[in-house]
Amino acid sequence: GRAASMRSASALAAALLKGERRALSKAITLVESTRPACRESADELLALVLPHRDRVKPLRIGISGAPGTGKSTLIESLGLELADRGHRVAVLAVDPSSYRSGGSVLGDKTRMLQLSADPRAYIRPSPAQGVLGGVARHTEDVTLLCECAGYDRVIVETVGVGQSEVVVAGLVDLFLLLIPPAAGDGLQGIKRGIMELADLIVVTKCDGGLAASARAVAEDVRAAMRVLRPRDAAWAPRVMTASCHDPRSAAAVAQAIEEFHTTMASAGALQHRRREQAAGRVLEHARAELLDRIRTTPGVPALVSALAAETADGRIASTTAGKKVAAAVLNPDPPRLGQPGSSCGSAGGG
């Protein structure tokens, strides 16, 4: 029972802290599970490993770009470059589309053959269930586990689908946006909100016949970035070009990432960003828990259906119905009419 679960959690924690890959994979499977028993074991595991996590060394890097920007190629060469610089690299993929279809991006490992064969790197394909909100929930825990296992550079890759970039930007220290050399009508296709999140923008495929176009797009991006307010006073977002045929490209991007880390950390801006993100995530998790309660509290789903019918018939306002559902979840034994506190005008507030 409980004692056995605690024993297995502490054995798994010990193996994970030694950096054992199998233990890390097992731990990740645990935190990605939606079964309540697994969730409890996952919470126990996190409580055991978190005190041992290095809080200074790790850096989380979010990388986003539409399909066709050469993202896998860049991630692979960047991962190898970071490993050559003495880091241990973990790559996590976040793909909201797989969440809807229930399929996983199993292609991740086949796309990055060199990096997945490298003992200094760990690649985890995206899990296959849940919704976009679930992305943040699992990715954050998975990132923590990777850091506890000694991976000090965690790359979180998004498959560019609007909302996912915003979610990932809230989980990482540095957000890197990839733009293809022919970004169409100038930069019309790139959402302003996503440009504002970027700490580093890389225009890819700057070689051969596309080199001139890539450099022109980079200039356009620089001009656009000058108008936008930087996320942090300590760091002016950088715009660079890269080519998968030039080994210096990965080194230049890795260098910019290291400079970001040093600059932001010494200015105290990195800690400030992490605190702000943490506050947002705590609220996010609280919301998710409350939504779970709405789905699982006995009698509440039926109440939702009944109130929805009344709202549709125009007998009750949806705001009123929403308050009734919230009251049923937060006070499972609702006050009966006539009891103190059940009306707005009663003594003691209400």
Residue 177 near residue 201, CB atoms below 8 Å: yes
Neighbours of 186 (CB within 10 A): 13
Give the pLDDT of residue 348: 46
End-to-end Cα, the chain, rounded Å: 44
Q: Which of 3-7, 84-88, 160-164 has the highest mean pLDDT?
A: 84-88
Does 183 have pLDDT greater than 60? no
Return all residues near 342 (Cβ < 8 A) that are at least 6 apart: 335, 336, 350
Range 8-13 average pLDDT: 93
Residue 182 near residue 214, CB atoms below 8 Å: no
Give the pLDDT of residue 96: 57
Does 94 have pLDDT greater than 60? yes
Euclidean distance between CA atoms 215 and 154, whole angstroms: 29
Structure tokens at 303: 């109440």
The number of residues making up the chain comes to: 350
Range 267-280 average pLDDT: 95
Does 324 have pLDDT greater than 90? yes
Range 102-128 average pLDDT: 73
Which pTM value belongs to this model?
0.84
pLDDT one-digit tens code per residue, 36-56: 888 889 999 999 999 999 989
Report residue 103's pLDDT band, with 50, 70 and 90 as the boundaries.
very low
Give the pLDDT of residue 234: 94
